[in-house]
């Protein structure tokens, strides 16, 4: 039986629905029926051709939740929890990290492994249903599977989506200490997640700069103490407010989750001397900025860290925290609209124009 899948044939081309061949399952393989797959900002960037080395045509969708239809010799998830057909699971999109190259073995940095493949990004549609915008997803042998914690629904996980894990990773990568003042730049899914986890990690004051207002309201619901709107405040007004709140020093920790290059100059400006700046919003290339290294970094004694993608531990840990704090972290409420496989073009447009905080592809709809 063929599998319907939404296919991005090349950058800027209209989305198409293709019928893909049913994969023949290898030993260790799993077939999922897709419940929901997210539309991440990265999918918009893929559609704009902003990531190098993408083997178009692709089936997008790197974070997905599905129901196990069939497994070949797999009876447990990556944490050892038993898994059987009918169970609702998610999986780690990064795959085929080799464990033997210089990056894996010496640098301890598997996200730079040259053999690394990512569901929904680096697999061609010609290789099979290896992205979430499809009725079924084939998990190749070795894909890290995770049964959803009992407290969580598919909507909780997909409402957070890849931004939930990236925001968690960015907070982990910072030096955030209890009672810090944390500034989050950006109120998309990564920024919302970073705000939530910064507050949980013990920030005394969590500030989110972003827009539009519905996203800032979500940020406040998820843990931000103060939101500053890009629409109503000038950069100078935002600066004055943050300096006033921090005794003129600036934020202890700044996390960039906007994907806008201009945010980075503002981020350095609002970071206190000796503070830590984590740049997590530039997974794809959004362009250059001009920076004065003396003022922004050297004299400031700034610690600057990049966070590119996530590791599996972020997925496990973020979902454990989400399960524990489900009452205060309503990521399911971020979902703005569900789209069928024939509506993925509108989903990309709606995410690009910020019309919905989180668009979800529901292939069975
Ligand atoms: Zn490697
Ligand atoms: Zn993503």
Q: Are residues 179 and 283 in the same domain?
A: yes
Ligand number nearest to the C-alpha of 45: 2
Count of the separate structural domains present in the chain: 2
CA of 308 to the centre of ligand 2 (A): 11
CA of 61 to the centre of ligand 2 (A): 8
Q: Are residues 179 and 282 in the same domain?
A: yes
Q: Which domain holds residue 108?
A: 3-151+326-361
Residue 275 lies in a domain: yes
Residue 289 lies in a domain: yes
Q: Are residues 138 and 270 in the same domain?
A: no
Strand 303-306 with 335-339, pairing: unpaired
Q: Are residues 98 and 136 in the same domain?
A: yes
pLDDT tens for each residue of 10-21:
999 999 999 999
Phi and psi based region of residue 161 (left: phi greater than 0; alpha: psi -120 to 50; beta: remaining): left
CATH of the domain at 246: 3.40.50.720
Q: Are residues 137 and 262 in the same domain?
A: no
CA of 188 to the centre of ligand 2 (A): 11
CA of 150 to the centre of ligand 1 (A): 33
pLDDT-derived band of residue 357, with 50, 70 and 90 as boundaries? confident
Q: Are residues 179 and 295 in the same domain?
A: yes
pLDDT number for residue 291: 96
CATH of the domain at 81: 3.90.180.10
Q: Are residues 293 and 172 in the same domain?
A: yes
Ligand number nearest to the C-alpha of 46: 2
CA of 118 to the centre of ligand 1 (A): 13
Secondary element (H or E) of residue 172: helix 154-173
CA of 166 to the centre of ligand 2 (A): 8
Secondary element (H or E) of residue 214: helix 213-222
Closest by alpha carbon to 292, among 283, 279, 302, 280?
302
pLDDT tens for each residue of 155-208:
999 999 999 999 999 999 999 999 999 999 999 999 999 999 999 999 999 999
Q: Are residues 178 and 274 in the same domain?
A: yes
Residue 92 lies in a domain: yes
Q: Are residues 122 and 185 in the same domain?
A: no
Q: Are residues 174 and 134 in the same domain?
A: no
CA of 181 to the centre of ligand 2 (A): 27
CA of 135 to the centre of ligand 2 (A): 19
CA of 163 to the centre of ligand 2 (A): 6
pLDDT number for residue 325: 96
Residue 50 lies in a domain: yes
> Over 86-150, what HEC string results?
CCEEEECCEECCCCCCHHHHCCCCHHHCCCCEECCCCCCHHHCCCCCCECEEEECCCCCEEECCC
Look at the chain and count its residues.
365
pLDDT tens for each residue of 124-158:
999 999 999 999 999 999 999 999 999 999 999 99
pLDDT number for residue 309: 87
Residue 319 lies in a domain: no
Q: Is 207 exposed, middle or buried (0-12, 13-18, 19+ CB in 10 A)?
A: buried
pLDDT tens for each residue of 29-47:
999 999 999 999 899 999 9
Residue 235 lies in a domain: yes
Q: Are residues 340 and 259 in the same domain?
A: no
> What would the mean pLDDT of 343-362 be, rounded to a whole number?
95
> What would the mean pLDDT of 266-293 be, rounded to a whole number?
96
pTM for this entry: 0.93
Contact 113, 6 (CB under 8 A): no
**pLDDT mean across residues, the chain:** 96
Contact 257, 170 (CB under 8 A): yes
d(CA 180, CA 142): 40
Q: Is 303 exposed, middle or buried (0-12, 13-18, 19+ CB in 10 A)?
A: middle
pLDDT tens for each residue of 38-95:
999 899 999 999 999 999 999 999 999 999 999 999 999 999 999 999 999 999 999 9
pLDDT-derived band of residue 331, with 50, 70 and 90 as boundaries? very high
Residue 78 lies in a domain: yes
Residue 315 lies in a domain: no
Q: Are residues 51 and 191 in the same domain?
A: no
CA of 20 to the centre of ligand 2 (A): 23
Query: For residue 244, is pLDDT > 90?
Result: yes
Contact 41, 116 (CB under 8 A): no
Query: For residue 1, is pLDDT > 90?
Result: no
Closest by alpha carbon to 123, among 139, 99, 147?
139
């Amino acid at each position: 039986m063929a599998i319907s899948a939404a296919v991005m044939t090349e950058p800027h081309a209209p989305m198409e629905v293709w019928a893909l061949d049913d994969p023949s399952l290898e030993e260790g393989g799993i077939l999922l029926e897709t419940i929901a797959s997210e539309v991440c900002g990265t999918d918009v960037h893929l559609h704009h051709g902003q990531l190098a080395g993408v083997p178009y045509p692709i089936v997008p969708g790197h974070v997905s939740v599905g129901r196990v239809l069939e497994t070949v010799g797999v009876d447990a998830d990556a944490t050892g929890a038993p898994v059987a057909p009918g169970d609702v699971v998610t999986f780690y999109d990064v795959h085929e990290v080799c464990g033997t190259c210089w990056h894996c073995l010496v640098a301890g940095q598997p996200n730079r492994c040259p053999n690394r493949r990512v569901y929904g990004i680096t697999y061609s549609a010609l290789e099979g249903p290896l992205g979430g915008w499809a009725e079924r997803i084939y998990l190749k042998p070795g894909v890290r599977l995770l049964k959803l914690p009992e407290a969580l629904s598919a909507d909780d996980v997909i409402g957070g989506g890849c931004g939930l894990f990236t925001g968690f990773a960015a907070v982990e990568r910072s030096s955030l200490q209890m009672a810090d003042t944390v500034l989050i730049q950006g109120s998309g899914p990564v920024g919302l997640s970073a705000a939530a986890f910064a507050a949980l990690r013990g920030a005394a004051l969590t500030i989110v700069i972003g827009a539009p207002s519905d996203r800032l309201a979500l940020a406040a619901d998820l843990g931000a103490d103060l939101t500053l709107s890009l629409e109503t405040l000038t950069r100078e007004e935002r600066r004055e407010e943050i300096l006033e709140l921090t005794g003129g020093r600036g934020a202890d920790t700044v996390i960039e989750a906007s994907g806008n290059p201009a945010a980075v100059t503002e981020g350095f400006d609002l970071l206190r001397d000796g503070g830590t700046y984590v740049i997590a919003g530039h997974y794809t290339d959004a362009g250059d900025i001009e920076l004065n290294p003396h003022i922004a970094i050297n004299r400031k004694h700034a610690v600057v860290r990049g966070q590119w993608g996530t590791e599996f531990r972020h997925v496990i840990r973020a979902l454990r925290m989400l399960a524990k704090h489900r009452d205060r972290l309503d990521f399911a409420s971020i979902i703005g609209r569900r789209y069928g496989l024939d509506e993925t073009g509108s989903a990309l447009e709606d995410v690009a124009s910020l019309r919905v905080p989180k668009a979800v592809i529901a292939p069975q709809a």
